[in-house]
Chains A and B, each alone.
Chain A
Amino acid sequence: MTMQLQKDFAGGAASLSERVLPSRAEVAALVALAARTVAPLWPLESAIAVNPLAGYEDLPFETAVARAAQRFGARETLPLAAWRRLLQAGRIDAGALREAAIAVLGGLEAAFSPIGPDLLPLDLLMARLIDLPVAAPEASPALTGAQAFIAKWCAAFLDQGGASSAMPHRDLGLYRAVLALAAHDRDFHRLTGAAGQRLLLSVPRDPFDAIAEAIVEWDLPAGAEVDRLADLVARLPGWAGHIRWRCDHADPADSAGAPATMADLIALWTVLERALPARAQPESAQAESGQPESAQPESGQAGPKSWAAPALAAHFGLAPHTLATLDPAQRARMHGIATMPESALGALYMTAAERGYRDDLVPRLSAAARKAPPAATPAAQLVFCIDVRSEPFRRALEAQGAYETLGYAGFFGLPIARHRHGAAESGAAPRDRLLPVLLAPQHTLHEAPAPGHEAAAHRAQAAAARSAWTGTLFGRAKQGLATAFATAEATGPLAGALMLARTFAPRLASRMAAAITPSADPVTVPDLGGFTLSEKLGYGALLFRLTGLRAETAARLVVLAGHAGGAVNNPYAAALDCGACGGHPGGFNARVLAAMLNDPHVRGGLAAQGLALPETTRFMAAEHNTTTDAVTLFDRDALPASHRAELAALEAALARAGAANRERRAAQLGRSADDLLTGAVHWGEVRPEWGLAGNAAFVVGPRWLTADADLGGRAFLHSYDWRSDPEGQILAMILTAPMVVAQWINCQYLFSTIDNDRYGAGDKTTQNAIGRIGVVQGNGGDLCVGLPRQSLFADHGAAVSGPAGTPWHIPQRLLTVVHAPFDRVEAVIAANPVLMRLFGNAWVHLVVIDPASGKALRRASDAEMLPRAGNENPSPTQEKRP
């Protein structure tokens, strides 16, 4: 039998008159493509930083930002006024801004060739960048009725136990469950009237079929379907992102009994769209898109802005009639500069921020690369997470003595999930995924009572169960729609007293601090029974191969330090924990790897692989609390007496380093160091720490390359020794995984800053948590997708951050610096499409420092490689002045 595939089916070029209902498989493909317009959104309890524009990474950065801005009704850049405040505060280099302006004008010659008497293009552009008045940023439009309707039902359907009475028909799936209830919904009736009721009776009950019917009814030109469906997905990006997480990343148990797919969400939108009164369609379509007029693409050649050039001329004291004396070419140049959209001006500021940062950092690393590495034997070696918050702490510790520090992904290469001791009894989530979302867990580890601590473990488990039960009861009553107010009245006096204690005497409630500081001698131990010896060898060896840590010269004490944030009453607490550990504290993973590396069988096996550790080397696990800068060392009883002196000295050094780093961070937060400890346990604290704000670089190389440079807590540091990686496989692993995670973090901070309402989460003080799912602004609407304003902007007069409303985080793209031979890095990039995409499309900038010469080269983006006049023989790397 021969399959008759129509000629047009591959190209989708059928004319309208020939169009038939698309098949469910075709609709499934359209839905999958449309779904990519939003990134998955993790629940806050395991918050993961994700690039909100991840689905646009196939496009060059600038194009992606412009298209997404149009679709989401978002800004393309920070408002110009905010950029100017950063410039005034000295946080953007004025020289770098000038260089960026010269480049965009076409080079030195063009920038300095006069337009008129004493009128240089560069002066004109700089005036627009720095001096000329700018329009106030427009407020985000309120939710439309249709958005509010869908958001309401998403919240009801996707609720994960917050509501005391669950929505009926959830087993039918989101689309059919809402259809079943919409007939009785006053909002639906108000929005759609009789047409809506009629449509409810006739619309297909299968979401794919419903979408197919809408596509035909809308009579879309072939090829326009994906964009149309993506526009619907983008109307509520938070709920759409949550659905993506549920479908692609959640454990099946998380969505059991209540299936919700992107097809469900889109199908709901199609029903509303078709039922909305026809006369309201154009208006509603415009309002639905949330598209402010100013976000329309501005191409710069707009004719109507006839006032722009005279205004610019007036700034330079020139009368309007002077413009008439210019020749047409000069007038056109002047007009081009005068009408350059604010988004383009903002892009110049971002380029300046990136260039200024690069020109400061790279020469310092390049100079270090020319020196011989130090050969001193360290008193102890400590492996920290690559998180940007590790860098200043490492520097502070290194200043305390002969301590060598390394950077490694904070999940320590262990693809594990944890089954907490007594989790089932306490009603906690069945398991925590303690690994980056790029990976699926290969092992689920159980916690077992520590030998000698069985009774204590049992008591801890019972206490956790009690606390969880009470917390659940109180939480359900508090969050339930029907019981919230009654709960407040019934428990108000007690809750009020607790709140007063937490508000006015938070440090008196020192027991609360115990909740965020792990015990140094935990009553449970990870059960490593699920690992074979060869698996333990594999994970153990990875530490040495990825970081360049030399086994034979390892110190007597090697500490593996995971990290955690500390905060109470903070929906974003998980965002301060270790992203590599799935938004959980990293101490557990550190304990697992330390236990493996202290196992004599593992040590024997490693020696057979050429990784012979000294017999005297002992591994210890630790956890660095980035809010308080306290470091807890675990399982100290297991350390032999012979190592106690080193441990005591190290603990003292860690305490001094913590105090020094608290001082440094306190200045950045505009408060006292003691106050940081208070903030960690304070009920009303909105900014316990700056988190990963300021992140700007990802450095792959040995610590001695960066040791002399104060990187200001802005750099992810991954240790790497190019000499032990002749094939580039290790470098490929580092760039395709930890760097990708760093890029997600960087993009989350970048976009949350440039448009905090659309890509971020707005003001923390007006947010409300929705069950375990996320937060909304006010009393409903879309889930917030990014970071709250308080994580990114200063709201006080601290000198380091400028006036209130000045961004603390400067939105700039990640700069990756690799210490390795040029050819090897280029080969790794060529072999990995994800790297070709990120570097080629300029989502990440790359500088490579050659180990032999110390010379630094910047890799050009694909756009820079396009043939231009005067650039006939482009090469993939451009020389960068050292």
Chain B
Amino acid sequence: MTMASNTTLTLHRLKKIEIIVHAEDQRPVEDLLHAAGIGGWTMIRDVAGLGHGGFHQGRSIFNDQTGLVMFVGVADAATIERAARGLARLFETRAGVTFLSEVEVMRSGYFAPGTADGAAPVERI
């Protein structure tokens, strides 16, 4: 470890959103995160766990759509709120869960929003 131990680590407070949905809803969630302005996320395919409907297995070998996928995204609070509002509409009829939490990151610029409400294309053609 070459980093000097007395170097101050600058941390930035942001929000994290974690979403677990059926694999068939992967695309709608991606579109929604884009629309909310989240510039990137991590996706974990084939997660398992215990839910209201009993134990969710991983996907079966021949059907990618049978599993659950998990998204992890980090952004500023306003962007995460937009995503959460959109997800609330989606979950009115689709199954899924969302967790929001506070996180600290080292490079805040890395999580800068993409195209969002405030930055929607406005030019006329």
Q: Do A and B bind each other?
A: yes
How many A-B pairs have beta carbons closer than 8 Å: the answer is 140
Stretch from A426-434, A629-637, A830-838 contacting the other chain? A830-838
B60 adjacent to A26 (CB under 8 Å):
no
Contact B89 A30 (CB under 8 A): yes
List of B residues within 8 angstroms of A439 by Cβ: 62-64
Per the 8 Å Cβ criterion, residues 200-256 of A in contact with B are: 201, 204-206, 208-209, 223, 226, 247-248
Give chain B residues whose Cβ lies under 8 Å from the Cβ of A33.
Answer: 28, 89-90, 92-94
Q: Is B49 an interface residue (CB 8 A)?
A: no
Binary contact track B72-87/A, C-beta < 8 Å → 1, others 0: 0000010011111111
Q: Is the CB of B66 within 8 A of A736?
A: yes
A-binding segment of B4-12, B51-59, B104-112 = B51-59
| CB <8 Å contact, A5 and B85 | yes
B88 interfacial contact with A, CB 8 Å: yes
Q: B80 touching A29 by the CB < 8 A rule?
A: no
Residues on A with C-beta less than 8 A from B120 are 24, 204, 206, 208-209
Question: Does B89 contact A248, Cβ atoms closer than 8 Å?
Answer: no
Q: Does A28 touch B at the CB level, under 8 Å? A: yes
Q: For residue A436, which residue of chain B has the nearest CB? A: B62
- What's the Cα separation between A301 and B53 when bound, in Å? 38
Which of A172, A226, A440 meets B125, CB within 8 Å?
A172
CB–CB A831/B82 < 8 A: no
Contact for A205 among B13, B82, B84, B122, CB less than 8 A? B122
Within 8 Å by CB of A736, from B60, B77, B88, B121, lies B60
Residue of chain B at shortest CB distance from A180: B125
Interface pair A29/B90, CB less than 8 Å apart? yes
Q: Which residue of the partner chain, among A12, A28, A176, A263, contacts B88 with CB atoms under 8 Å?
A: A12
Report the nearest A residue to B86, measured CB to CB.
A25
- Report A9-36 CB contacts with B as 1/0, cut-off 8 Å: 1101000000000011111111111010
- The answer to whether the Cβ of B1 comes within 8 Å of any Cβ in the partner chain is no
A223 contact set on B, CB distance < 8 A:
92
Determine which of A27, A438, A542, A831 lies in contact with B65 in the assembled complex, contact meaning CB atoms within 8 Å. Answer: A438
- List chain A residues, Cβ under 8 A from B32: 25, 28-29, 32
Q: B62 contacts A26, CB within 8 Å?
A: no
* A375 CB within 8 Å of chain B: no
CA distance A204 to B120 in the complex (A): 10
Please pick, from B60, B83, B89, the residue contacting A733 in the complex, using a CB distance under 8 A: B60
In the complex, the chain A residue whose C-beta lies closest to that of B94 is A33
Q: Which residue of A lies closest to B116 (CB)?
A: A24
Contact B77 A3 (CB under 8 A): yes
Interface pair A28/B62, CB less than 8 Å apart: no
Check: A825 CB closer than 8 A to any chain B CB.
no
When distances are taken between beta carbons in the complex, the residues of chain B under 8 Å from A180 are 125
On chain B, the residues within 8 Å of A209 by CB distance are 120
The answer to whether A5 touches B84, judged by C-beta atoms less than 8 angstroms apart, is yes
Q: Is A612 an interface residue (CB 8 A)?
A: no
Given contacts A28-B32, A737-B60, contact A23 B123 (CB under 8 A): no
B35 close to A27 (CB less than 8 A): yes
Are the CB atoms of B125 and A205 closer together than 8 Å?
yes
Q: In the bound complex, do residue B94 and residue A25 qualify as a contact, i.e. CB atoms below 8 Å apart? A: no
Query: B28 to chain A: which residues have CB within 8 Å?
Result: 28-29, 32-33, 35
Q: Within A457-474, which residues are at the interface with B (CB < 8 Å)?
A: none
- Tell yes or no: A409 within 8 A of B by CB: yes
Q: Which residues in A have their C-beta under 8 angstroms from that of B62?
A: 409, 413, 436, 438-439, 733, 736-738
Q: Chain B residues near A478 (CB, 8 Å)?
A: none
Contacts A29-B87, A205-B125 known; A732 to B60 CB distance under 8 Å? yes
Instruction: Determine if A169 is an interface residue (Cβ-Cβ < 8 Å).
Output: yes
Contact partner of A247 (CB less than 8 A), chosen from B27, B34, B93, is B27
Inside 8 A of B60's CB, which chain A residues have their CB?
A: 732-733, 736-737, 832
Give bound CA distance, A176 to B124, whole Å: 9
Contact partners of A3 in chain B: CB under 8 A? 15, 77, 80-81, 84, 100
Verify A5–B122 contact, CB threshold 8 A. no
> How far is B54's CA from A201's CA once the two chains are assembled, in angstroms?
53
A490 close to B (CB within 8 Å): no
Measured CB to CB, the closest approach of chain B to A38, in angstroms, equals 14
> Which residues on the B side are within 8 Å of A528 (C-beta)?
none
Contact present for A205 and B124 (CB under 8 Å): yes
Tell me if B36 counts as interface (CB < 8 A to partner A): yes
Distance (whole angstroms) from the CB of A36 to the closest CB of chain B: 9
A641 at the interface (CB under 8 A from B): no
- B26-45 vs A, CB cutoff 8 Å, 1 = contact: the mask equals 01100111111000000000
Q: Is the CB of B123 within 8 A of A205?
A: yes
A831 touches B27 (CB 8 A): no
Q: Are B36 and A24 in contact (CB under 8 A)?
A: yes
Q: Look across to chain B and name the residue whose beta carbon is closest to the beta carbon of A409.
A: B62
Question: How near does chain A come to B20, taking the closest CB pair, in angstroms?
Answer: 14
Please tell me if the beta carbons of A736 and B63 are within 8 angstroms of each other in the complex. yes
Q: Which residues of A contact B65 (CB under 8 A)?
A: 438, 834
Task: Report B-chain residues with C-beta under 8 Å of the C-beta of A110.
Answer: none
By beta carbon, the residue of chain B nearest A833 is B53
Whose C-beta in chain B lies nearest to the C-beta of A249? Answer: B27
Once the chains bind, are A32 and B90 in contact (CB under 8 Å)? yes
A154 to B22, CA, bound (A): 30
Whether, in the assembled complex, A740 has its beta carbon less than 8 Å from a beta carbon of chain B, the answer is yes
Shortest CB distance B118–A (Å): 10
A869 CB within 8 Å of chain B: no
Contacts of B54 in A (CB 8 A): 830-831
Q: In the complex, which residues of chain A have a beta carbon less than 8 angstroms from the beta carbon of B80?
A: 3
Whether the pair A176, B63 counts as a contact (CB closer than 8 A) is no
- Asked if A127 lies at the interface with its beta carbon under 8 angstroms from chain B, I say no
A9 and B88 contacting across the interface, CB-CB below 8 Å: yes
Q: Are A740 and B35 in contact (CB under 8 A)?
A: no
How far does the Cβ of A439 sit from chain B's closest Cβ, in whole Å? Answer: 5
> Taking CB as reference atom, which chain B residue is nearest A54?
B24
A135 on the B face (CB < 8 A):
no
Complex contact B88–A832 (CB within 8 A): no
List of A residues within 8 angstroms of B93 by Cβ: 33, 226
Question: Which A residue sits closest to B84, measured CB to CB?
Answer: A5
Q: A3-B80, A830-B54 are in contact. Are A25 and B64 (CB under 8 A)?
A: no
B61 within 8 A of A: yes
CB of A179 within 8 Å of the partner chain: yes
* Distance (whole angstroms) from the CB of A274 to the closest CB of chain B: 18
| Contact yes or no, A29 B63, CB < 8 A | no
Closest to B32 in A: A28
Q: Which residues of B contact A409 (CB under 8 A)?
A: 62
A180 to B77, CA, bound (A): 36
Closest to B13 in A: A1
In the docked arrangement, what's the CA distance between A33 and B27, Å?
Answer: 11
A819 to chain B, nearest CB (A): 20
Asked if B35 contacts A733 (CB within 8 A), the reply is: no
Can you report 6 residue pairs joining A to B where beta carbons are below 8 Å apart? A5-B85, A24-B116, A28-B32, A248-B27, A733-B62, A831-B55
Binding site for A on B (CB under 8 A): 13, 15, 22, 25, 27-28, 31-36, 53-55, 57, 60-66, 77, 80-90, 92-94, 100, 116-117, 120-125
What 5 A-B pairs are tightest by C-beta distance, nearest first? Answer: A25-B86, A737-B62, A32-B28, A29-B89, A25-B36
Beyond known contacts A25-B33, A438-B64: 4 more, CB 8 A cutoff: A23-B36, A29-B32, A409-B62, A834-B65
